[in-house]
Amino acid sequence: MELTNGQYSIQSIPVNDITQEFGTPVYVYDEAVIVRQIESLRKGFSSVNLRIKYAAKALTNLSILRLMKKQGVGVDVVSIEEARLAVHAGYTPEEISFTPNGVVFEEIIAAVNLGVAINIDNLPTLQKFGERYGNQKPCSLRINPGIMAGGNYKISTGHLQSKFGISIQQLSQILDIVKKFDIPVSGLHVHTGSEIGDLDVFFKVADVLFSAARNFPALKFLDFGGGFKVAYKPGDFVTNIEDLGTKLGKAFNQFCQEYGQSLELWIEPGKFLVSEAGTLLVKTSLVKETPMLTFLHVNSGLNHLLRPMMYDAHHEIVNVSNPLGPQKKYTVVGYICETDTLGADRLLNEVREGDLLAIKNAGAYGFTMASNYNSRLRPAEVLVTNKTAKLIRKQESFDDLLKNQIDL
């Protein structure tokens, strides 16, 4: 979203035109930003045999999945439903990697039957996988490297107290199970968290992966996960993709020489690809002045964008309707029956009742975490492609709240 001549636009389409056509609240995604992010990864990791696997949980709209497919990006899914969505979007099973966490084994069987690549993250499941499939089905292994990283504890997944992955301290147990059932291990995977700005984390993870990989003679890839940090406000420190790709690529190629064969380097960006592409557009329902604060109530809330309340996440907010007005301090809140602050103590251009506000960087974990709390309807989604705004999900209706209920 750009401000030009006093007007906000997305791919030259005035934001006001988008909301006049599709209403508010509405999620709007800019295809050009997604393509730009994909290209930056390919440029940064140009020295290796790179495979990008989009972390679908960030945004699972079918049109977004099809866009990723069109750009030659694979997909990583975390549930059998996400796997089926990916197939529905046009992915072949071979292009899908399945990385669930602690699911019932029947879900693993369903994924194997679907034909997707299986990534196992615990010893009991590895044991069951070996008992059922022996050396007939390959799998990869998610390793917990014992490294703390990420912008929030809730999204830090690689430390020793995390539920994710098989601890690197249990490597001998992994090897015992693999040997007992002759399981073909095709890759090793690690994901330490989200919003990682410190490049040293990736190199510490690489050391763990390289060391573990020497115990598996027939690997095809090493998967370094995602977690690349994007800017949520001006001046934010972000992951330097060019620097990371150059240095990690050099270390990876050196390892491949020592390993004796060339492997693929996989990464699983989610937020990095779609976060900055997404904007949540909302309307100011009232301006409420109190002795302490001035509240801006909008026609949305934590039911549409949970991240500020869930992770204390910062999303930049701008006044689309009055972008050049004098600045005042506001606290932007939603319409849910509990505290649902979207932005506290924000300097915004003067806001009036009915003004359109844009909540930026809302493409990742916005709609996918949305709910019907307070029996509110989930919003529409729009994709701007080739300077055209297209509806990719209708706003829910009251009938949608009733359709799966059974009246006794």
pLDDT exceeds cutoff 50 at 245: yes
Q: Does residue 164 have a pLDDT over 50?
A: yes
Q: pLDDT tier at 148 (50, 70, 90 boundaries)?
A: low
Residues 84, 88: Cα–Cα separation, whole Å: 6
Each residue's pLDDT tens digit, 275-297: 999 999 999 999 999 999 999 99
Residue 234: pLDDT above 90? no
Token digits for 355? 């003004």
Structure tokens at 316: 């930049």
* Residue that the structure tokens 């490297």 belong to: 145
Q: How many CA atoms lie within 13 A of 293 on its CB side?
A: 13
Q: If pLDDT is split at 50, 70 and 90, which confidence band does 158 have?
A: very low
Rg (CA), the chain: 23
How confident is the model at residue 194, as a pLDDT?
65
Give all strands of the β-sheet with 7-10 in edge-to-edge order: 2-4, 7-10, 13-14
Note the pLDDT of residue 16: 97
Indicate which residues carry an active-site annotation: 337
Q: In 3D, which of 72, 105, 100, 74 has the Cα closest to residue 87?
A: 74
Strands (E) across 125-220 are located at 139-144, 166-167, 185-189
* Residue 202: predicted pLDDT: 87
Which residues lie closer than 8 Å to 8 by C-beta, 6 or more apart? 1, 2, 14, 15, 318, 320, 323, 358
Contact 217, 182 (CB under 8 A): no
pLDDT number for residue 299: 98
Contact 408, 36 (CB under 8 A): no
Percent of the chain with pLDDT over 90: 87
Which residues lie across from 376 on neighbouring strands?
A: none
3-state secondary structure 222-251: EECCCCECCCCCCCCCCCCHHHHHHHHHHH
Q: Determine contact, residues 25/401, Cβ cutoff 8 Å.
A: no
Query: Average model confidence (pLDDT) for the chain?
Result: 94
Three-state DSSP state, 282: strand
218: tokens are 């027939």
Q: Which domains does the chain have, with CATH numbers?
A: 2-29+277-402 (2.40.37.10), 45-271 (3.20.20.10)
Amino acid at 283: K
Confidence label for 199 from pLDDT (cuts 50, 70 and 90)? confident
pLDDT band at 160 (very low <50, low <70, confident <90, very high): low
Tokens of 10: 């997305």
Average of per-residue pLDDT across 300-314: 96
pTM of the entire structure?
Answer: 0.94
Amino acid sitting at position 212: A
pLDDT value for 236: 84
Q: What is the pLDDT of residues 54-103, one digit of tens each?
A: 999 999 999 999 999 999 999 999 999 999 999 999 999 999 999 999 99
Backbone angles phi, psi at 139, to 5 degrees: -150, 165
The answer for residues whose C-beta is within 8 angstroms of residue 318's C-beta and 6 or more apart is 3, 8, 348, 349, 357, 358, 360
Per-residue pLDDT, 156: 47
Contact between 284 and 330 under an 8 Å Cβ cutoff? The reply is: no
> What number of residues does the chain have?
408
What is the phi/psi pair of residue 231, to 5°?
-85, 125
Which pLDDT score, from 0 to 100, does residue 197 have? 65
